[in-house]
Structure 1
Amino acid sequence: MGRTVLTLSLALATWVGIAAAHTGGLSGATRDPLAIPTWLFLLTGGGVVGVSFLLASFVTDRRLVAAVHDWGRHLPAPGRTLRILARVGAVTLLAVTVAVGYLGPATGVRNVAVLVVWVAWWGGYVASTYLFGNTWPTLSPFRAVAEPLPSLDYPYPDRLGAWPSVAGLLLLVWIEVVTPLADDPRLLATVLVAYTVVTLAGAVAVGVDDWFDNVDPLARAFQLYGRLAPVGVDDGRLRLRLPGGALPDTALRGRDDVAFVVTLLFVTTYDGFVATGPSASGVRAVADIGVPPLVVYLGAYLGGAALFYLAYRAASRVGRRRAETYLTTDYLARRFAPALLPIAAGYHLAHNLGSVLVLSPTLAAVGAAPLSPPASPPQLAGLPSWFGGLELAFVLLGHLLAVWVAHATAYDCFPSRLQAVRSQYGVTAVMVGYTMLSLWIVAEPYVAPPFIAS
């Protein structure tokens, strides 16, 4: 049964799901068509991941594997004054973004609020959390405002776990998809205000730590991405480590944490899939038989998220069965889930870096005069032809790092080298399938999603 679900999920994942445009909807950058057949390109990418698994399987020295992930150097930590200034700056930026969203030009790329959120924050800052470390606990304007407020200290229900953050992540991306959030600064400012109000109310009700540890989807996403970065916090001190070095030791509490990691991977993919030709054609075909477009999008969205989760659960069952271990499927799912984070990071970087580069001059010009920006803000004229190859390299590098993290995790879980290798069969199959899906999305030209204002 597990193999059947895994096979069907991998097959269906290539067409089920919708993706939000985010910065892709703001960028005028185009991608040159592939010079080789698409099927050959995708098989090559999947083959690279498969071969990397085989090569990693030859690294059986536990001391070497442990040494790679234990390597680190301590770094000087920023002082308290710098942290306070950073928080003041973050709160000020949020206030200015909301104000200009309401008072500035109504045109998307001429309003600094749109550029700050989708270019500077979503495209740039999010990448910084998995490249340089999680600074969100310090820079989060929501937490900075919430911490000084009194708390009612209502007990957070343990039975909820981190499931509210899973629902919150799905809701945030869904709002972005079905509304013109990337083009309407007034709507964007309203969403920011609503998010702030909900966050502050929740933090006051159950306490700052419980809210940001269990409910707030942004805080949880950046916390996990920070485990991937080469800079982290160890015993209150900054530490330099190898990329992904902390992932094998990342402790997930239960199915709720696993579901959040898988959902983070899904919505990252979701950023690109909706803007492809096959996605647009599929939505039109279903809508033409009388199904409301909103229902089509919602069904595909929730169905895609469920299939990603079921595929990963099936992979965990396959790994347990092949390793012939007493360890439970839930335990293996918790241990191997952090290995998916490099995949999400590599795809996010590939999908958003081009837009950040193209629109950086726009952000600078509009930011210099937010209430009276230029009528035609400048953009980078175009990206070099080799940039598409760089995007594809980011996808592959993320998958290769994921394979190594899964390998290190397996050797930490199993005393037998053969068990360690066999336990990775299921998750490696998922990675190969997802590699091919990711490469296909990145290589596809942008197509405006039908029936929605984006």
Structure 2
Amino acid sequence: MAGGFALLAGTQFVGTALAHGGGLRAAAGSLSVPTWLFLLTGGGVVGASFLLASFVTDRAFIRAVHGWRRVAGGRPDGAVTVTRLVSVAGLVGVVAVGFLGPESMFRNAAILFVWVGWWAGYVATVYLVGNSWPALNPWRAIAEWMPSLDRDYLDGLGAWPSVVGLLALVWLEVVSPLADDPRLLSWVVVGYSTVTLAGALLVGPDRWFGSVDPVARLFRYYGSVAPIGRNEEGSLELRAPGMALTDARLADGRDEVAFVVAILWVTTYDGFVGTPLWSDIARGTVGLGLPAAVLYPAGLLAGYALFLGVYWLAARYSRRTAETYLTPDAIARRFAPSLLPIAAGYHLAHFLGLFVSLSPAFLSALSNPLNPPINPSVVVLPSWFGGLAVAFVLLGHLLAVWVAHASAYEVFPGRLQAVRSQYPFVVVMVLYTMTSLWIVSAPSAEPPFV
């Protein structure tokens, strides 16, 4: 799993600075203040940013910030064809090197490509720059070259299959040695490819990648955080980061709200299972008789239910504090995209250290996939690097507060009503902030029973 991969990277190559790249982890023992003060300070920063935004902004200023755009040209069709051919070749290469390359995870180019190059590096470009996945998605490229049966997709399913798919992928990542065993990784890629292409063949590529595929949906949402996107005419446009998140069409149903919350939860879960608290809970629960095989899926689902329940509770209380005729469903849909910067900040805090540290090994493995260097080079992270994780978490939450603030002004006609509608969501964001900062500051522990 990614957590175990990063844990070994930290213990064998870069000491405590990269104790657990799959989790929100700073250098162990790097805090010079009490943990409770650290958490309260982080939560206070988020609360203070809400107060500042409420006092010093008005509708004209918000419209000016969100309305700023610079439009560029469209993308050439030939470039899309080339990128898709390259991506399909990359997919075939990952499977082949996973089966034929070295068994050592730090020398196998497939392992390093998936976890360092793609999941740590490329995903960060999606929310920091823009969503290039539609032009790079190898499965969609293959699906569009295939015939389609174009069977009807049950509209009632909506985005729920992608919610299940995202939770299942993260569960598999946590409980299996996907980042340790290149052969297993290749089999999982083959299995994912089979299911994806069969689904696209059945309902068509547009419907499958628009509704069902969790990876495509994840990147589509992350791309809304980025400063570069596409307008309705298909042209590229430059905007301030996060400004696309106020679009009312971004999350227009309970299913899409559930997916946004799932993005936030799975990132937190991946970090939480690498903490001593989870280790104690896991050992105690299994000691009471719960089968170890049930432990991780039960924890995943219970935590997700808690995150989702807290969010819907905030939506119901927002209706009361705003004294509005809008339903909790309508409020939840409109504020859900404001959670995406939080998830992006979590991801960057998770994986930047992993990417920087193992990039030399990744490049060395790519240069000769079947016979890479025996002792791959790594970057030893400085002691201050752990503080960047804290900064990324806080920056993600601050952008989330701004997006929620701007969304409230678009929804509610009165200034006081717009401010009051945010009270429950700010409380939730403060709680999310303190939770993530606690995970950042906690020492590493190897997840038991996996």
1:287-341 per-residue CA deviation (whole Å, 9 max, x = no partner) reads 1222212212221111001110000000101111100100000000000000000
1:167-190 per-residue CA deviation (whole Å, 9 max, x = no partner) reads 000111111111111101111001
- Of stretches 85-94 and 248-257 in structure 1, the one that deviates more from structure 2 is 248-257
In structure 2, the partner of 1:411 is 409
1:386 to 380, 384, 388: 384
Go from structure 1 to structure 2 and tell me whether the alpha carbon gap of 1:20 and 1:372 turns closer, same or farther (over 3 Å shift): closer
Q: Does 1:83 align with 2:65?
A: no
In structure 2, the partner of 1:169 is 166
1:23/1:352 contact within 8 Å kept: no
In structure 2, the partner of 1:215 is 212
1:399-447 per-residue CA deviation (whole Å, 9 max, x = no partner) reads 0000000000000000011110111011111100000111111122321
Q: Does 1:141 align with 2:123?
A: no
In structure 2, the partner of 1:237 is 235
- Of stretches 316-325 and 23-32 in structure 1, the one that deviates more from structure 2 is 23-32
Q: Please give the residue correspondences for 1:85-234 in structure 2 after superposition, counting only pairs within 5 Å.
A: 85-234=82-231
1:24/1:351 contact within 8 Å kept: no
- For the residues of structure 2 that align with 1:139 and 1:321, how far apart are their CA atoms? 45
Q: Which runs of 4+ in 1 moved over 6 A?
A: none
1:64 to 45, 54, 61: 61
Give the secondary-structure state (helix, strand or coil) at the position aligned to 1:440: helix
In structure 1, the partner of 2:24 is none
Q: TM-score, normalised by structure 2?
A: 0.94
Instruction: Number of aligned residue pairs: give it.
Output: 433
Q: What is the CA-CA distance between 1:22 and the residue it aligns to? A: 6.9
1:252-302 per-residue CA deviation (whole Å, 9 max, x = no partner) reads 221000000000110011121111111111111111222212212221111
Go from structure 1 to structure 2 and tell me whether the alpha carbon gap of 1:267 and 1:22 turns closer, same or farther (over 3 Å shift): farther
Give the secondary-structure state (helix, strand or coil) at the position aligned to 1:147: helix
- For the residues of structure 2 that align with 1:206 and 1:370, how far apart are their CA atoms? 36
2:245/2:403 contact within 8 Å kept: yes
In structure 1, the partner of 2:334 is 335
1:87-136 per-residue CA deviation (whole Å, 9 max, x = no partner) reads 11111011000000001111211111110100011101111110111111
In structure 1, the partner of 2:280 is 281
In structure 1, the partner of 2:443 is 445
Q: What is the CA-CA distance between 1:378 and the residue it aligns to? A: 1.2
Q: Does 1:308 align with 2:290?
A: no
- For the residues of structure 1 that align with 2:411 and 2:442, how far apart are their CA atoms? 39
- For the residues of structure 1 that align with 2:2 and 2:116, how far apart are their CA atoms? 14
In structure 2, the partner of 1:5 is none
**Structure 1 letter corresponding to 2:334:** R
- For the residues of structure 1 that align with 2:321 and 2:8, how far apart are their CA atoms? 46
- For the residues of structure 1 that align with 2:8 and 2:360, how far apart are their CA atoms? 13
- For the residues of structure 2 that align with 1:304 and 1:356, how far apart are their CA atoms? 28
Q: Does 1:47 align with 2:47?
A: no
**Structure 2 letter corresponding to 1:315:** A
5+ residue gaps, structure 2: 17-26
Give the secondary-structure state (helix, strand or coil) at the position aligned to 2:71: strand
2:127/2:222 contact within 8 Å kept: yes
**Structure 2 letter corresponding to 1:446:** S
1:339/1:403 contact within 8 Å kept: yes
**Structure 2 letter corresponding to 1:236:** G
5+ residue gaps, structure 1: 1-18
Q: Does 1:370 align with 2:369?
A: yes
Q: Does 1:427 align with 2:425?
A: yes
Q: What is the CA-CA distance between 1:250 and the residue it aligns to? A: 4.4
**Structure 1 letter corresponding to 2:98:** G
1:23/1:119 contact within 8 Å kept: no
In structure 2, the partner of 1:268 is 267
**Structure 1 letter corresponding to 2:137:** S
- For the residues of structure 1 that align with 2:446 and 2:421, how far apart are their CA atoms? 41
**Structure 2 letter corresponding to 1:433:** L
In structure 2, the partner of 1:4 is none
2:28/2:444 contact within 8 Å kept: no
Give the secondary-structure state (helix, strand or coil) at the position aligned to 1:110: coil
In structure 2, the partner of 1:27 is 9
Go from structure 1 to structure 2 and tell me whether the alpha carbon gap of 1:47 and 1:287 turns closer, same or farther (over 3 Å shift): same
Go from structure 1 to structure 2 and tell me whether the alpha carbon gap of 1:338 and 1:39 turns closer, same or farther (over 3 Å shift): same
Q: What is the CA-CA distance between 1:149 and the residue it aligns to? A: 1.0
- For the residues of structure 2 that align with 1:269 and 1:362, how far apart are their CA atoms? 27
- For the residues of structure 2 that align with 1:153 and 1:367, how far apart are their CA atoms? 39
Go from structure 1 to structure 2 and tell me whether the alpha carbon gap of 1:250 and 1:226 turns closer, same or farther (over 3 Å shift): farther
**Structure 1 letter corresponding to 2:141:** A
1:20/1:270 contact within 8 Å kept: no
**Structure 1 letter corresponding to 2:258:** A
Q: What is the CA-CA distance between 1:72 and the residue it aligns to? A: 1.1
- Of stretches 54-63 and 192-201 in structure 1, the one that deviates more from structure 2 is 54-63
1:276/1:444 contact within 8 Å kept: yes
- For the residues of structure 2 that align with 1:85 and 1:208, how far apart are their CA atoms? 19
Go from structure 1 to structure 2 and tell me whether the alpha carbon gap of 1:397 and 1:145 turns closer, same or farther (over 3 Å shift): same
In structure 2, the partner of 1:73 is 70
In structure 2, the partner of 1:321 is 320
**Structure 1 letter corresponding to 2:353:** G
**Structure 2 letter corresponding to 1:396:** L
- For the residues of structure 2 that align with 1:410 and 1:167, how far apart are their CA atoms? 30
**Structure 2 letter corresponding to 1:441:** I
- Of stretches 237-246 and 387-396 in structure 1, the one that deviates more from structure 2 is 387-396
- Of stretches 399-408 and 365-374 in structure 1, the one that deviates more from structure 2 is 365-374
Q: Does 1:255 align with 2:237?
A: no
- Of stretches 403-412 and 145-154 in structure 1, the one that deviates more from structure 2 is 145-154
- For the residues of structure 1 that align with 2:331 and 2:8, how far apart are their CA atoms? 40
